[in-house]
Amino acid sequence: MRNAPTILHLDMDAFYASAEQASKPSLRGKAVVVGGLGPRGVVATASYEARVFGVRSAMPMAQARRLAPNAAYLVPRFGFYRAISEQVMGLLHLLSPLVEPLSLDEAFVDLETDGAAWDRASARLVGEKLRADIRAVTGLTGSVGLAASKMLAKIASEEAKPDGLVLIEPGTERAMLGPMPVRILPGVGPATGDHLRRAGITTVDDLAEAGEDELVRLLGKAHGHGLYAMALARDDRPVVAERETKSVSVEDTYDVDIHDRVRVGLEVQRLADRCVGRLRSAGLSGRTIVLKVRRYDFSTLTRSETLRGPTDDPGVVREAALRLLEAVDTTGGVRLLGVGVSGLADFTQEDLFAQAAEAEAEAGAVVGGGVGVEYSDVEVEVGEGDAEAVEEQVIVAAERRWPSGHDVRHAEFGHGWVQGSGLGRVTVRFETPGSEPGRVRTFRVDDLELEPADPLPLVSGGGGGGAGVSVDGVRT
């Protein structure tokens, strides 16, 4: 453990929802829920205004609609969020070369590495300046935690939400942690929390008092030792700039169970191609192909096959995934499919290219597309019918689908965003990040003057464009 609070944890506040509020003036200060809008969609992020009604991340969207029927429900724009994340991560890299991203909106920073901070006062100044810089560059707010370890810095940033800063003084960790619930510690999820509660352990103080031997008996050797150390505020994990990727995978959840075996095969091929696309963009290849199938009754099956050497060839991955599918009973319907590659390397086995060519020649390697559906927290395309019909449907769907919350431009009225669509109509609110709340107009879905558009910057000329999130100040 360090003797100065020089590990910083940044967590952007309700990131996706705040980004949507910042880009849409009419939604600022209102309940906003971002996620999949289909029957099986889940909440990706809820604004603080929506959380007042009990809406939370990972909640089924149907439950969120019951809790907050008047909230704005939007389909995620991951390219937009990624662009903002790159701006934020750029600010973090100005502080230190040791930045450990955990997601698009969360990261650890080691402030000691380049001397950005060395004591309590300098760490606080860095944290306050970072929050101001994030607001100036992105128009959004982030919460900052400062402590002598990663675990404590993350706990501090959670305590700082929203838009605050909490610094934990070295030497005060045990007193601060003691009365907190055990769920505050990393690795204590609902199941472990319930198990500990049944043993009469509900706070971090209870963990410390139970002793290491008792925790090992309750939770097993590795988990028991680790949890006892955390209860005593011991955490020597370093900030790691680059994490080794162990696997690459993609999966889709479908609004309606897939019963047609041919269509399931087409979906598996499409997922294999998406997975390989991610592999190649990361400059990786892999030896083990993994197929995941969740059936109509929620039973989940995972099958894998290890190749002779690493590959990034779509034909090889498709062929292996289809072989794995042959051993899975899909009778009754499939609600989720996934394809992954593990055993990663930064090279490929050349003799596998010939294998891929043979496979494509024999199978024809048809890749499915289809009509768009919404799922979970992203959008997917579902294959349907033969290849030619599917391709035609993809083109039509891509031209005429108007996802809620996405940007559009009209030849006469300018930039706006989709409030909703259906029954051959699409409703658009015309406003920009720097404008007043705009007017709403309705068009036919095939109106040739209306077209998809790229998101506009949240901040122009170094100015505002805030996300409508309250300021909680700086606390210690």
Residue pLDDT, tens place only, 389-400: 333 333 333 345
pLDDT given for residue 371 in this prediction: 29
pLDDT given for residue 3 in this prediction: 87
pLDDT at 373 over 60: no
Among 171, 195, 165, 172, smallest CA distance to 182 is for 195
pLDDT given for residue 400 in this prediction: 54
Confidence of residue 193 (pLDDT cuts 50, 70, 90): confident
pLDDT given for residue 347 in this prediction: 61
β-pair type (32-35, 43-46):
antiparallel
CA–CA gap between residue 369 and residue 278 (Å, rounded): 18
Q: How many C-beta neighbours within 10 Å does residue 238 have?
A: 11
pLDDT at 382 over 60: no
Share of the chain above pLDDT 70, in %: 84
Confidence of residue 422 (pLDDT cuts 50, 70, 90): confident
pLDDT at 465 over 50: no
Tokens describing residue 390: 């599917």
Please answer whether residues 25 and 101 qualify as being in contact, where contact means their C-beta atoms are separated by less than 8 angstroms. no
Coil, helix or strand for 68? coil
pLDDT given for residue 366 in this prediction: 34
Residue 36 neighbours by CB under 8 Å, 6+ apart: 42, 44, 61, 75, 253, 374, 375, 376, 377, 378, 379
Q: Which residues are catalytic?
A: 106
* E strand residue ranges, 120-276: 142-147, 164-167, 247-258
pLDDT at 118 over 70: yes
Tokens describing residue 377: 């927290």
Consecutive H or E run containing 317:
helix 314-326
CA dihedral 330, 336, 342, 346 (to 10 degrees): 120
Mean pLDDT of 48-73: 94
Confidence of residue 239 (pLDDT cuts 50, 70, 90): very high
pLDDT at 269 over 50: yes
CA–CA gap between residue 109 and residue 196 (Å, rounded): 32
Please answer whether residues 307 and 287 qualify as being in contact, where contact means their C-beta atoms are separated by less than 8 angstroms. yes
Tokens describing residue 13: 């506040």
Mean pLDDT of 227-234: 91
Tokens describing residue 310: 């690493």
pLDDT given for residue 130 in this prediction: 97
Threshold 0.85, pTM exceeds? no
Mean pLDDT of 118-137: 96
Coil, helix or strand for 23? helix
Produce one character per residue of 27-52: b if its CB has 16 or more CB atoms within 10 Å, e if not: bbeebbbbbbbbebbbbbbbbbbbbe
pLDDT given for residue 300 in this prediction: 87
Coil, helix or strand for 281? helix
Residue pLDDT, tens place only, 5-42: 999 999 999 999 999 999 999 999 999 999 988 777 88
Q: What is the identity of the amino acid at 63?
A: Q
Q: What is the DSSP letter of 455?
A: P
The C-alpha R_g of the chain, in whole angstroms, comes to 25
